[in-house]
Amino acid sequence: MKEANNRMNALIFDVKRYAVHDGPGIRTAVFFKGCPLNCLWCHNPEGIERFPEILYRPGICGRCYACLNACPNGALRKDDSKALTIARELCNGCGLCVEGCPYDALQLAGRQVNLNALLGEIERDRIFHDQSGGGVTLTGGEPVLQHEFAICLLRELRNSSIHSALDTSGYAPEDLFHRVALESDIILYDLKLMDDEKHREVTGVSNELIIKNLKWAANSGLDLVIRIPLIPGINDNDHEIRNKAEFLATLENIRYVNILPYHRGGEEKARRLGRTIRSRGIEIPSEEKLSMVLKIFRDYGFEAKVGG
């Protein structure tokens, strides 16, 4: 098995240790790169594309231009004002510019990781998992996009008695979603909008498959936590919230609802990726709004909380 694992690789963009917002206890969160959705408010824009990308922080750039010489494809240049620019269509994600930057102004989002090597990283956190009732969370991006690796990782975690969580959008072919979900100890299931037209508008995809996979997971008796990103002006109105609560109340095995308030953490990362900030103008949810949303779900019998 170990020899087979040595041939198993995945593209990830981060491994976050001591994570406390991605399932129960203290967890190791593995961020898979690639997502079929393109949410207007995305908090991890570096996780959307399915290839490595460079993030650039001009504020700490020393303008030494060592990165220009390090890049084999001429993707990094200086403009007339001597500011660094990135021709992203020429970048192959090799990371040589990152290695050559003495100021840490460049960061590579996306690296190939070997399954055995990743399991070794995870093993170092076992003491925190055991003491806190935590474990490992597969997140992203969308882990089901790399289903073969995700399944092997989940099986190895189970063999090692390490609790696993799958954080998913639910937007995946049914057979693949079923296979990955059945290997997970708990599923953190994102539910963004009930209105399909609005869902298409702000995420780029229909919610039909998401709803279908959620119904299957609930009817299959899987351990589920519903996570709802609360985005002012998009899905925080009373009608949308009540539609969610009414829908969830029709499903078996749904007890927990976590509300995830919008924050602006994704905006800076979008800038570093050279992307347009599509969430500009979205406000942070007020305490009054959060209290109202929690009350609606609690009135329907759910254990609702902010975060988690």
pLDDT digits (tens, 9 = 90+) for 254-271: 999 999 999 999 999 999
CA dist 245 and 265 (Å) reads 27
Task: Look at residue 4 in the predicted model and tell me its pLDDT.
Answer: 62
Structural tokens at position 80 = 């007339």
Instruction: Read off the pLDDT band of 6 (50, 70, 90).
Output: confident
Domains of the chain in sequence order: 2-50+111-306 (3.20.20.70), 57-109 (3.30.70.20)
What are 284-289's contacts with CB under 8 Å, separation 24+? 284/232, 285/230, 285/232, 285/236, 285/261, 289/230, 289/232, 289/236
Task: Look at residue 2 in the predicted model and tell me its pLDDT.
Answer: 62
Task: Look at residue 80 in the predicted model and tell me its pLDDT.
Answer: 85
CA dist 258 and 297 (Å) reads 10
- State what percent of residues in the chain have pLDDT above 90: 94
Task: Look at residue 81 in the predicted model and tell me its pLDDT.
Answer: 87
What confidence tens digit (pLDDT) does each residue in 58-115 have?
Answer: 999 999 999 999 999 999 999 888 889 999 999 999 999 999 999 999 999 999 999 9
Helix, strand, coil percentages (3-state) for the chain, rounded to 5, are 35, 20, 40
CA dist 26 and 191 (Å) reads 24
CA-wise closest residue to 96 among 124, 116, 76, 122: 76
pLDDT of 1 > 90? The answer is no
Which residues are paired to 230 by β-bridges? 261
For residue 96, give Cα distances in angstroms to 64, 108, 165.
Answer: 15, 9, 34
Q: What is the dihedral angle through the alpha carbons of 38, 43, 47, 52, rounded to the nearest 10 degrees?
A: 110
Structural tokens at position 261 = 């308030």
pLDDT of 3 > 70? The answer is no
Average pLDDT score over the chain: 95
Q: Where is pLDDT greater, at 97 or 308?
A: 97
pLDDT of 193 > 70? The answer is yes
- Average of pLDDT values for 24-50? 97
Instruction: Read off the pLDDT band of 7 (50, 70, 90).
Output: confident
Lowest-confidence range among 3-7, 73-77, 163-167, 269-273?
3-7
CA-wise closest residue to 195 among 206, 204, 184, 182: 206
